[in-house]
């Protein structure tokens, strides 16, 4: 799985450079979320899904895993740049209140402020 990370104003931005977030990469994403929690503790993560065109149930499970892991350390996981298919999947699964998402990066980063 190809990821690019950077930190802006205390928020770890993880840009996923994959077209599919499915069973072939979901376990790697879970491992990355676990690594971030173990290394940084109360980490705030913003997942950039701009390049992701497809998410299946395994990918959705990986996103929920990351959300739960961040929450255990008072961190947060939020999403940005969802394409319409991915956004629809999150709505169908009734997870739009669990997996908060944004179209604008600045707005997303600002949303982590206390």
* Domain residue limits, the chain: 3-110
Please count the other Cβ atoms lying within 10 Å of the Cβ belonging to residue 19.
Answer: 10
Distance CA 49, CA 46 (A): 9
Tens digit of each residue's pLDDT (9 = 90 or more) over 13-25: 999 999 999 999 9
Tokens standing for residue 16: 């996923």
Topology of domain 3-110 in CATH is Transcription Regulator spoIIAA (3.30.750)
Predicted TM-score (pTM) above 0.85: yes
State pLDDT tens for residues 12-61. 999 999 999 999 999 999 999 999 888 877 789 999 999 999 999 999 99
The β-bridge partners of 54 are 20
């Amino acid at each position: 799985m190809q990821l690019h990370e950077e930190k802006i104003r205390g928020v770890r931005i993880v840009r996923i450079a994959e077209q599919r977030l499915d069973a072939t990469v979901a376990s790697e994403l879970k491992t990355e979320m676990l690594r971030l929690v173990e290394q940084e503790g109360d980490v705030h993560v913003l997942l950039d899904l701009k390049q992701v065109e497809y998410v299946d149930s395994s990918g959705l499970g990986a996103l929920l895993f990351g959300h739960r892991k961040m929450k255990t350390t008072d961190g947060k996981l939020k999403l940005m740049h969802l394409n319409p298919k991915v956004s629809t999947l999150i709505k169908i699964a009734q997870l739009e209140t669990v997996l908060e998402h944004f179209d604008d990066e600045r707005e997303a980063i600002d949303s982590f402020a206390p």
